Structure 1
């Protein structure tokens, strides 16, 4: 019977180990992920599953705890090595059999990343927002594309976890007794005093002091750091759209970090370096859902027709413009090509794409060679006589009086 119990326990042990979710899978990481990728995954997931953002959701709350546990293990090089070799059981033995006992409190860990006591409580002090501008080509607004960008900002010191102390110890300020404020009396007149509450000049209003300052932050509790973010440019996003990253602005142990607000702008068009990336669409002009293009025609093309043009759109597909022989294009006329404009952002009802507006500009030659001039003059005279056109009469201008003209010329000669 004892042998049977032992065999049963051995069979159940792998199942118990498998029941705990793999730390790498939990954070969405590969097994060769570096420290930066681990921190980035924790930052994203801890905010997503934070209990304050998912009230009355036991699953999210447990996920928040599991994410903190996974981060604690993988960010520690020694613990990560143990986990890679022996899994969850090896980590528990290394921590003394206490499960999560060897790691941080989930809220303390969250606080070390974002400040504010580890919670998103209503009415809690929130830091200022940070705004940045990022420009991307029109092509990315049309096709959609993922970008990475970096922002330098204030971050809580990871070495001292925002305490400012090398050994993690802070002593109660002897002047304000931990209040951060002191009362000062000022005599206004003999026997008349005024009391004023002021910030303690010893601890700077923090209520505690540090004997051994952190060598990384110099006791400031925060450092300047560069953080990398991913920006998903969606198809049809409007120029100037604001993308908000919650609680990603400057961090401090004294408040919840504000939001990082990205203003997404369209950069000025420029010629592409690669041959395959060169498109006519690069020089489209955009207004809301519609695109605009100016096509230049010669006098012969505008008058005679019989031409075809291919425009390479932003994603590489071709839009064909053409006129049959005898079809005249008036200077400044606009052709609307339906469905060849910008995609509709987050389209639910209505058309998926706007329209492409093509404005035709006719270029007149400075002079004509003999053959071309003769050809055009012959065509003009034939049409004019057939229609009975007289430029002087049809212009609406008064006919010149020759007598007055002669008198005027003689007067100029006499002068």
Structure 2
């Protein structure tokens, strides 16, 4: 039996040596030096992410490079992960990879060396942000604050006002208690259970932190900045990994940011996929006689208006649709060969007669025809 255990231990060491690799050079990936500030990191990331985005770059290496750039930015834009990476070479800190003993535990499910497996992962969080249609059209950089659960800064998550803890008397510091249960006369079951006094930690806080009431976590504001590319889909999601609510001894979940369209700020347009739709009202005189011109607002920063017109005696029917090609939404999933690819704009004309109704307008137009 001992020889089998030794053989398995050797195998675990060999496998551990194979799977544990050095962290990539994130600074080189972004093309910056180790003294780069937050703005320089963000600028480098945006330039490279646009360069290697699979929607813009169809080369076989673009996808891998895009993922690599995103991973580098995730680490270097996070102060804690960056500090760990600079100091230990690993964004998760010195204990991230553990050792062969931990690897052995993960493989065989044991508690070798007193380790108790991985941490629990927290739930994901969702945040809805409302944007005008012009923001989806042009793209936008957004800075915002959101209230989340954060590790208490006063006690650094310990829950103790003085940093002191005392051994739990209920479990004698073991974190578990033995429970005996009689199943039937002469039959007694004995099993371990997590101590409900210290929640399995083996110690309790002597003087709870007054800021977080001993919980080690407290709700507070966080600041984020995100980039919405032009043509980003309505109800599209950006995921901030590890930015969910944070509690001591729990790995935070992700923060999902959902971008909603504020329909009250759409300038009369309706978005369906990559196309735009709009109703345009004409008087009976304009519809029958033509000879009119008007300019409707448009989302482009350079071409801020679109001209609609009819020559004299050029009739417009009620419900007639005019297609303005290439004036719809930008393609978010462009093939990378045409950066200015857009959908179309569909204008539907509605004829209005003073004192009449839409149905009456339709009868008038039919009579004239």
The two structures have a TM-score, normalised by structure 1, of 0.58
Ranked by relative contact order (alpha carbons within 8 Å, sequence separation 6 or more), the top structure is: 2
Corresponding residue number in structure 1 for 2:280: 295
Q: 2:289 aligns with which of 275, 280, 304?
A: 304
Corresponding residue number in structure 1 for 2:146: 151
Q: Which has the higher helix share?
A: 1
Please say if 1:251 is aligned against 2:246.
Answer: yes
Indicate the larger mover: 168-177 or 337-346. Answer: 168-177
User: Do the aligned residues in 1 keep the contact of 2:157 with 2:216 (CA within 8 Å)?
Assistant: yes
Which residues of structure 2 form unaligned runs of 5+?
Answer: 1-31, 41-73, 96-116, 357-363
Corresponding residue number in structure 1 for 2:164: 169
User: Do the aligned residues in 1 keep the contact of 2:271 with 2:277 (CA within 8 Å)?
Assistant: yes
After TM superposition, give the deviation of residue 179 of structure 1 in Å: 3.5
C-alpha distance in structure 2 between counterparts of 1:253 and 1:357, whole Å: 54
After TM superposition, give the deviation of residue 47 of structure 1 in Å: 6.5
Flag as ranges the 4+ runs of structure 1 deviating above 6 A: none
Please say if 1:45 is aligned against 2:78.
Answer: yes
**Cα distance per residue 1:117-142 (max 9 Å; x no partner):** xxxxx965321100111111111111
C-alpha distance in structure 2 between counterparts of 1:334 and 1:222, whole Å: 58
Corresponding residue number in structure 2 for 1:238: 233
Corresponding residue number in structure 2 for 1:131: 126
After TM superposition, give the deviation of residue 363 of structure 1 in Å: 1.4
Corresponding residue number in structure 1 for 2:61: none
1:264 match: secondary structure: strand
Please say if 1:355 is aligned against 2:365.
Answer: no
C-alpha distance in structure 2 between counterparts of 1:43 and 1:209, whole Å: 35
**Cα distance per residue 1:20-51 (max 9 Å; x no partner):** x999x544379xxxxxxxxxx99833476588
C-alpha distance in structure 1 between counterparts of 2:153 and 2:348, whole Å: 59
The total of aligned residue pairs comes to 272
Check 1:123–1:358 CA distance in 2 against 1; reply closer, same or farther (3 A cut): farther
1:306 match: secondary structure: strand
Corresponding residue number in structure 2 for 1:210: 205
Check 1:206–1:135 CA distance in 2 against 1; reply closer, same or farther (3 A cut): same
2:145 match: secondary structure: strand
C-alpha distance in structure 1 between counterparts of 2:76 and 2:178, whole Å: 41
Q: CA RMSD in A?
A: 3.5
Please say if 1:228 is aligned against 2:238.
Answer: no
Which residues of structure 1 form unaligned runs of 5+?
Answer: 1-20, 31-40, 52-60, 69-104, 109-121, 271-280, 368-375, 385-415
User: Do the aligned residues in 1 keep the contact of 2:165 with 2:203 (CA within 8 Å)?
Assistant: yes
The two structures have a TM-score, normalised by structure 2, of 0.64
Check 1:165–1:202 CA distance in 2 against 1; reply closer, same or farther (3 A cut): same
Please say if 1:28 is aligned against 2:28.
Answer: no
